Structure 1
Amino acid sequence: MAAGVFPIRQPGGAAIAAALAALVLGTLAAVAWQARGLSALGPWDWRAVWFTIWQAVVSASVSAILAIPVARALARRRFAGRAVLVTLLGAPFILPVIVAIMGLISVFGRGGVLNDALRAAGLPEISIYGWQGVILAHVFFNLPLSVRLILQGWQAIPAERFRLAESLGFAPRDIARHLERPMLRAVLPGVWLAVFLVCLTSFTVALALGGGPRATTVELAIYQAFRFDFDLGRAAMLGLVQIALCVAAMALARWIAIPAAFGAGLDMPSQLRGLGGWRRLADGLAITLAAAFLLWPILAVTLRGLPRIPLLPPEVWDAAVRSVVMALISATLAILLSLALALAIARGGARWIETAGMLPLVASPLVLGTGLFILLRGVASPQAMALPVTVAINAIMALPFGLRALIPAARDLEGDFGRLADSLDMRGLARLRLLVLPRLARPLGFAGGLAAALAMGDLGVITLFATDQPTLPLKLYQLMNSYRMADASACAVLLMAISFALFWLFDRGGRLA
């Protein structure tokens, strides 16, 4: 068999993993070196560290606790539109953060629907700015993620266990004690950790809703150190603190998690028995409230902005084209890197390869971007490198999510067909074209769609340098700061539509391949 020009082997994946680790750690070192070392943190920095930990703990805990009754209701109820609702629960994860913030302001802001109702009733208004706004936005983003993960836990309980419980005459409290609580002990630490890590590295939410120094996250403090103080030593020290917090959270979750130990089943569909009475009403209320909380802000910004899309100024459309091109390039890079790493891991790659692939989860994209600017400053000006560096950072930050989608499928592929392909000397492009791409098309499409949507809605590194070439999220943020809320709403709808369209095109393409 002919060997391709680009062989897919473990050393290639190892080289990419090593380069990724060097990039994450090297950019941090570059920032510290440029600053002649790390700087001590002041009182306001430690206040930002404390607020970051506090709001991440509260946000993760509230998201996980609220998700339990919603996931349980979805696990034991069947109704028209259930599949659509479960699918829509994934929408906030790919929804651009700045668009969701606009939606939340439309509902909970000073001129929002909720405050209008409170004023009409003679009650005091609420403010979305400050710690309460940060936590509200984080729960909005992470409640659906928590519901999906916990729902998978319920569905993973073998159906035979429920049938056995029914044959033994178990009451609902007995099922909760022997089946549901062990599952939650196994699943909840991972759910909590995933949400905690997202909230720990939050930037856009704190930038838009933080409301001042008392509600500043570490990531926002890094941005302020770069943008306003140009204190690289303090930024590097804050970046190290953020990595340490993420690693400590991972270790804590791994220590707390207890396997459920249900054993294997016959892979039959698992379903809780849907009891009537007050439990039916409670399940219906949980599903209705969750759906309203998640869909109301999206609907509010859509109704407000949709009619004004044709009236958007030309610079918004220029930013949209720029963002689409950047998102497509980022998605392509993320797919290539994820595929190479996943194949290397599936073929028995060292444990550190997977660890390196997960490193972007704990890294600050602002530190990564600034470190790249420092390393490449002799090549071009920061303004000229702003868009290429943003593309690269977006691809790297999407890499862990692509790996989570690809690694299980790549391991199945290697287990089912690896030895046969090796015996036929199928390597390189031949193996890629005839075996890998057809079998991994679906997870590749999903990973590409996720990377494109996340890159389309990113408001991170671009805020530091490229104000004269804004992406669509940055243009939306500029419109909000200029109080051009009508144009901002239309821009938000456009950004949301493009993000969902990119995800659908990649995901659909993978399903049709």
Structure 2
Amino acid sequence: MPSRADPLWRHRPPALLWGLAALAVAVLLALNLGALGAVYRRAGPAAAVFGPADWAALRFTLLQATLSALISVALAIPVARALARRRFAGRRALVVLTGAPFILPTLVAVSGLLAVFGRGGLANQALGWAGLPTVSIYGLQGVLLAHVFFNLPLATRLILQGWSRVPAEHLRLAASLGFGRRAMWRHIEGPMLTRVVPGALAVVFLICLTSFAVALTLGGGPRATTLELAIYQAFLFDFDLGRAALLALVQAGLGIAALLALAGFTLPGMAMTGLDRDAPAAPGGMARLLDGIAIALVAAFLLLPLAMIVLRGAPHLAGLPASVWMATLQSLKVAALSVVLLAVFTAALALAAVWSRRAAPLLEGVGMSALVASPMVIGTGLFIMAFPFIAPARLALPVTALVNAAMALPFALRAVLPALHRAEADYARLSASLGLGVGAHLRLVLWPRLRRPAGFALGLGAALSMGDLGVIVLFAQTGGETLPMQLQRLMGAYRTQDAAGAALLLLVLSLAAFTLLERLIGGKEPRHAGT
């Protein structure tokens, strides 16, 4: 029997909540297992064979994902340390701007990278002026460059959170004891990084594992083909569904192995507590110079492509063709529907997982399953299931929105669940002792503490959906393209001016969607008084 102070909803969660959670689980399982099963059934009894080209795609996928994760995290460590211990004018704005590439549409980022590192880009122009040979952005080096551009901000944020959890008292004690660089690393920085870095590596690896648009635009040939791109080619060009399903199964196995490694090697969180007093002054001299260099180089690497997108696209924004504006409307519809679905899925799974400890592993596991899923196989399976009953083009908008919501769900859960766990641990029994019902507890206790992570999660989902180029390429026909799909066609047709304007439009819309939802839902950031 629960005690009088034990929240009743933690023993008998509301039926509506369980219904929504069950619906979310059913939809996510259908998207993953159901789509894969449909591809296998359509492929027939003839089993696909893993040929030499598939082995090459597997090797390249593992190589680029591993190198991308290692390079991103290795570069993020000094940058996160510099941002953690330096305070300067514009620091917050710099952190926000350097985080933009993670929510940036892939094709927009690629156009910015081409402007800087492409054949006629700034980097090759500088090499030419210096009498040095130019470099190519296509192939492995281009894929790595793009993945580091996308994931360096994410890795920096993850590691910066680890530094922010080190109490100021520990830093003051280290300073009073005269700790040098080696002692700081041994007793404070090293133990923290051993708990943060494995998770950052696994997250970046999983993101790069299912990379599609980067390999499509910068892969540069059969030697630089990922499994996701091979799945797309097997379906669209060869219509070899058995091979597509086999490749998807291998890719899912790699993702599951990465998740298991993450669970096995990430150590429990450190028991660090403190009074949140001001940290001691950061070291000066050479340390200050190195921190400044790290921040300046990363800021230039991340912000210069964004600046080139604005400079090249602004003169052509007003003269965009009508097809671009029609595609923009389609993208806005997809993003709006995706945000609604993401909000329902996140709320149902997060609350059910926190209020039901027995079902929590299943609910969280299903919610995180999108990290190992192949969007191309999901789209292929849904296409096969819908084709006998309805024209797939008519489902382009809802299917794309649904898949985009599922792909953003792991990031939304990671943003909301920690805050929800803390709020329940701190206030659930107090709410029960005051006689608050479920509705009042949600409205008065949980929502004020979940607004900021919820706003971030939904803003991120909107931005990712706005710039996604995945399932839509299988379903949409002429007149039903989204803005990323239209941008790809403009780039393929060498309409560089229209492509530059469309890229800037997509950049503005993605950042606006993220900022608007984060501000409207999350509200203003509270001012802490140091307690």
- Flag whether TM exceeds 0.5 (same fold): yes
Distance 2:472 2:290 in 1: 45
Map of 2:529 onto structure 1: none
* 1-structure distance, mates of 2:287, 2:449: 43
The match for 1:169 is: 178
Matched, 1:451 2:461: yes
Letter in 1 for 2:415: A
Moved more, 191-200 or 440-449: 440-449
Tell me the CA shift for residue 260 of structure 1: 6.8
Deviations 1:462-491 (Å, cap 9, x if unpaired)?
Answer: 112314121000111111111111111110
Alignment of 1:13-32 (within 5 A): 13-32=21-40
Q: Distance in 1 between matches of 2:51 and 2:83?
A: 47
With 54-63 and 388-397 compared, the bigger mean Cα shift is at 388-397
CA contact (8 A) 2:70 2:201 kept: yes
Change (3 A) 1:340 1:316: same
Q: 1:347 to 1:474 in 2, by over 3 A?
A: same
Q: Which residue of 1 aligns with 2:165?
A: 156
Structure-1 separation of matches of 2:473 and 2:92: 38
Please give the secondary structure, in 2, of the residue aligned with 1:9.
Answer: helix
The structure-2 alpha-carbon separation of the partners of 1:272 and 1:485, relative to structure 1 and needing over 3 Å to count, comes to: farther
Does structure 2 retain, via aligned residues, the 8 Å contact 1:8–1:340?
Answer: no
Aligned: 1:74 with 2:79: no
Q: 2: CA distance between counterparts of 1:511 and 1:259? A: 29
How far the C-alpha of 1:445 sits from its partner, in A, is 1.9
Query: Are the counterparts in 2 of residues 185 and 260 from structure 1 also a CA contact under 8 Å?
Result: no
Is 1:199 matched up with 2:208?
yes
- Amino acid in the other structure paired with 1:449: G
1:383 matched residue in structure 2: 393
Partner of 1:485: 496
Indicate yes or no: 2:361 matched with 1:340.
Answer: no
Match in the other structure for 1:283: 291
SS at match of 1:127: coil
Kindly tell me: are residues 272 and 370 of structure 1, through their superposed partners in 2, closer, same or farther at Cα, counting changes over 3 Å? farther
> What is the distance in 1 between the residues matched to 2:421 and 2:72?
32
Per the alignment, do residues 375 and 436 of structure 1 end up closer, same or farther by CA in structure 2, a change over 3 Å counting?
A: farther
Decide whether aligned partners of structure 1 residues 290 and 269 sit closer, same or farther in structure 2, where only a CA change above 3 A counts: farther
Alignment of 1:240-251 (within 5 A): 240-251=249-260
C-alpha distance in 1 between matches for 2:152 and 2:429: 42
Report the more deviating stretch, 453-462 or 8-17: 8-17
Match of 1:116 in 2: 125
- Pairing 1:421-440 to 2, within 5 Å after superposition: 424=435, 426-427=437-438, 437-440=447-450
| Cα 1:411/1:28, change in 2 over 3 Å | same
Instruction: Name the amino acid aligned to 1:293.
Output: F
Q: Which residue of 1 aligns with 2:4?
A: none
How far apart are residue 276 of structure 1 and its match? 1.9
Of 370, 377, 402 in structure 2, the residue corresponding to residue 360 of structure 1 is 370
2:110 and 2:146 in contact (8 A); partners too: yes
| Range 35-44 or range 145-154, more displaced | 35-44
Please give the alpha-carbon distance, in whole angstroms, between the structure 1 residues aligned to 2:275 and 2:368.
30
Q: Establish whether residue 305 from structure 1 lines up as the match of residue 316 from structure 2.
A: no
Query: Are the aligned partners of 1:155 and 1:269 in contact in 2 as well (CA < 8 Å)?
Result: no
String of CA shifts for 1:237-268, please: whole Å, max 9, x gaps: 1111111101111222333334574x332241
Q: Does 1:472 align with 2:483?
A: yes
Q: What secondary structure does 2:134 align onto?
A: coil
Whether the 8 Å CA contact 2:337–2:398 is kept in 1: the answer is: no
Quick check: 1:403 aligned with 2:409?
Answer: no
Q: TM-score, normalised by structure 2?
A: 0.91
Q: Do residues 91 (structure 1) and 100 (structure 2) align?
A: yes
The amino acid across from 2:17 in the alignment is: R
Q: Which residue of 1 aligns with 2:511?
A: 500
Give 1:166 deviation, angstroms: 1.9
Q: Which residue of 2 aligns with 1:144?
A: 153
1:510: Cα distance to partner? 1.2
Pick closer, same or farther for the CA change 1:384–1:361 going to 2, 3 Å.
Answer: same
- What stretches of structure 2 of length at least 5 have no aligned partner? 1-8, 525-531
Separation in 1, partners of 2:155, 2:415: 17
Is 2:45 the partner of 1:34?
A: no
Tell me if the contact between 1:159 and 1:265 (Cα under 8 Å) persists in the aligned partners. Answer: no
Does residue 131 of the first structure (1) align with residue 129 of the second (2)? no
Question: Counterpart of 2:450 in structure 1: which amino acid?
Answer: L
Q: What percentage of aligned pairs have identical amino acids?
A: 54
Q: CA deviation at 1:10?
A: 4.0
Provide, for residues 336-390 of structure 1, a one-character-per-residue CA deviation record: whole Å limited to 9, x for no partner: 1111111101102411111010001110011111111222223311222222211
Structure 1: state its 5+ residue gaps. none
Q: 1:258 to 1:272 in 2, by over 3 A?
A: farther
Whether the aligned pair in 1 keeps the contact of 2:159 and 2:193 (CA below 8 Å) is yes
C-alpha root-mean-square deviation of aligned residues, in Å?
2.0
**Range with greater deviation from structure 2 (460-469 or 178-187):** 460-469
Equivalence for 2:327: 319
* Contact 2:169–2:275 (Cα < 8 Å) also in 1: no
Alpha-carbon distance between aligned partners in 2 of 1:143 and 1:267, rounded to the nearest angstrom: 31
Over 3 Å counting, the alpha-carbon distance change for 1:436 and 1:276 in structure 2 is closer
> SS at 1:311's partner residue?
coil
